[in-house]
Amino acid sequence: MPSPIDYHHLTLPFAGGHLDRIDALRNQPDALAALMARADGLVIPLWRDMVFMLNDGRPAILDHSALTALNIIDPGPVLLGLEGEKKRPWLCVSLDDDDRTEQDFPLAGLGEWVNLRTAAPRFEAKDLAIIGRASALLGWHGRHRFCANCGALTTADGGGIKRVCDPCGTEHFPRVDPVVIMLAERDGHCLMGRQSGWPEGMFSALAGFVEQGESLEEACVREIGEEAGIKIGAVRYVLSQPWPFPSSLMIGLIAQGLSEDITLDDELEEARWFSRAEVTAMLAGEHPHFSAPFPFAAASYLLHEWVGQKVPTSR
């Protein structure tokens, strides 16, 4: 059995944010306003869930002065936190969905708008953590403009870390959806599956949302049983990763498979057992037929753990 990897000293992509989230100031409007108005602040713009990537491969992180040139929509500028000893503010904004936004963007012609999932491998780890949180938070605002209690329009508050309904007084805070992502192992093989829309030949760990009244272990057993018909015994925790697509926490598990015959449901196009030699070749990009999940995804780290390989570190 390969030696386990020490994930206590490993920061997965989208984790490791270094900003001070200044919780103590979130109920002080004057202090927040002063921070958000500082000229040395940095701004992350997002448009249609995309980030702007400059031609040199860097993400567009704008100076505070650029705010006046942007077509910003609800929730307005959101204060993500403060950086370093100088407590430099980091803000993020959503831009209008209109097609003209692309043409009017101040850096138009110097790069292009790219889906965050596609752009993620090109980010430095510290920037990916910040931009991943910005994407998840702005996406939450976009989906929760109306009060779930009374239906009235809500407004952003606390520098953008919550929404408030004035008519009924309800406060709404962002929620994270827990997702179990897991490998079943049996007789030197691990179980992976693929969905129909994935790149040809790509297989990954099975995954599913944790439901109300479930432990992580119970969700693991249920999901593998539902998707592949495999019975599960012991389950061990390996890792976790924030996943801003749209706002999840991936919880990586490895489970003991008690059966072998696969019965698929309609979520998967195919599932099969892979040997350690096959997985090693997939991770190296050397398998003639199959490929591993994207290297920044939790599933890739689970596979490295399972074969006992050193995990590539983020930049």
- Residue burial 166-189, b: 16+ Cβ < 10 Å; e: rest: eeeeeebebeeeebbbbbbbbeeb
Integer Cα distance of 91 and 80 in angstroms: 6
Token output for 106 = 């101040």
Integer Cα distance of 59 and 113 in angstroms: 10
pLDDT at residue 9, as a whole number: 52
pLDDT at residue 315, as a whole number: 47
Ranges under pLDDT 50 in the chain: 1, 314-315
pLDDT at residue 171, as a whole number: 98
Integer Cα distance of 66 and 77 in angstroms: 12
Q: 59 - beta bridge partners?
A: 53
Token output for 246 = 């749209």
Q: If we measure between CA atoms, which residue out of 228, 236, 232 comes closest to residue 194?
A: 228
DSSP H or E stretch at residue 101: helix 100-104
Q: If we measure between CA atoms, which residue out of 93, 265, 275 comes closest to residue 189?
A: 275
Token output for 82 = 């403060």
pLDDT at residue 281, as a whole number: 98
Entry pTM = 0.92
pLDDT digits (tens, 9 = 90+) for 262-273: 999 999 999 999
Integer Cα distance of 292 and 192 in angstroms: 10
pLDDT at residue 313, as a whole number: 55
Integer Cα distance of 177 and 211 in angstroms: 10
Q: Dihedral through CA 26, CA 29, CA 35, CA 39, nearest 10? A: 150
* Orientation of helix 298-307 relative to helix 276-283, angle to 10°: 130
Angstrom distances, CA of residue 63 to CA of 69, 89, 92, 160 = 11, 11, 11, 19
- Residue burial 241-256, b: 16+ Cβ < 10 Å; e: rest: bbbbbebbebbbbbbe
